[in-house]
Amino acid sequence: MQTTSRRKFLGICLGGLAAAGTAATAYPLLSYLAPRSIDETGGKVTFPETEIPPDGAKIFDYRGTTGVVIRKQSGELVALSAICTHLGCIVQWENEKQNFLCPCHAGRFTPDGAVISGPPPKPLAKLPITVANGVVTVG
């Protein structure tokens, strides 16, 4: 009887330590695998205005995702998220039609990002853009 209770006590202790050991292993492992944190607040993107082709779009990295800048026929610059709201493909600017086409499932967006046709559920997100002394700043 004494052996049984002793066994049970030691078994519980060992089980507790095993649980602690599992936690102590899991924590570093998960931290190791966790995505590297990207600075969500800063990370402004700047480039000279001349980098935007006159009849096209400039696609760039923006805080870990992808953004696009186009020049509308009015001359106004628009910055949008280039990620289609349907399944995440990168939209392409079609200059002759003056709208965005998502090559994956033929979703179309206006130069301001609103959905024209196709499956996308939401418009493209707008990004803040300023131009000063020929330098474009997004963010």
Partner 1 sequence: MSPLKSIYHWLNVRLGVDELVEKRLTGYLLPRSINAWYSLGSVLLVIFGIQVVTGILLLIYYVPDAEKAFKSVTYIMNDVHFGWLIRMCHAVGSNMMVAVLLLHMLSALFMGSHKSPRELNWVTGFILFNLVLGISLTGYLLPWSQLSFWATTVATNSAGAIPVIGQYLVEFLRGGKLVGPHTLGRFFAVHVVLLPLVIGALIGAHLFLLERIGVSTPPFGQKETKSTWQGDEFRHESHPGGIPFFPNYLLQDVTSILIYLAIFFCVVFFSPYIFFPPTAFVPADPFKTPAHIKPEWYFLANYQTLKVFPSELLGLMVQGAAMTFLALIPFIDRGKERHPLKRPLFLACFIGGIILFIGMTIWGHYS
Partner 2 sequence: MRQSATNRFCVIACSTLLLLLTILSPAARGQEETVCIQCHGPQPGKGGAPVKAWRGSIHADNGISCHSCHGGDPNDAANAMSPARGFVGTPQEAGIPAFCGRCHAGIMEDYLKSAHGRALGKGGPTCVTCHGAHEVKKANLELINEKSCSRCHPYDRAAGIKEAMRQTEGLITDIERKIERFKGEGVDTERHEKSLFSLRNRYHRLFHEVDTAKVKRESSHIQQELNTINQTLENLDERNRRRKIAGAMVVGGLLVAALIAHLLKRTYDD
Residue 86 corresponds to which amino acid? H
Residue 111 CA to its chain's centroid (Å): 20
* Shortest spacing between CB 21 and partner 1, in angstroms: 9
- CA-to-CA distance for 54 and 75, rounded, in angstroms? 10
> Mask of contacts with partner 2, 49-68, x by CB under 8 A?
--------------------
**29 in contact with partner 1 (CB under 8 A):** yes
- CA-to-CA distance for 85 and 100, rounded, in angstroms? 12
Please give the C-alpha separations between residue 112 and each of 27, 85, 119, in angstroms, as whole numbers: 45, 14, 17
* Shortest spacing between CB 64 and partner 1, in angstroms: 16
Q: Which stretch binds partner 1 (CB under 8 A): 32-40, 59-67, 90-98, 129-137?
A: 32-40
Measured in degrees and rounded to the nearest 5, phi and psi for residue 73 equal -65, -25
Q: 130: which strand partners?
A: 137
Report the residue number, 23 or 132, with the smaller CB distance to partner 2: 23
In a 3-state reduction of DSSP, which class is residue 123?
coil
6 binds, among partner 1, partner 2, none (CB under 5 to 8 A by kind): partner 2
- CA-to-CA distance for 109 and 113, rounded, in angstroms? 5
Report the residue number, 36 or 74, with the smaller CB distance to partner 1: 36
> Mask of contacts with partner 2, 10-29, x by CB under 8 A?
xx-xx--xx-xx--x-----
Return residues touching partner 2 (CB under 8 A). 3, 6-7, 10-11, 13-14, 17-18, 20-21, 24
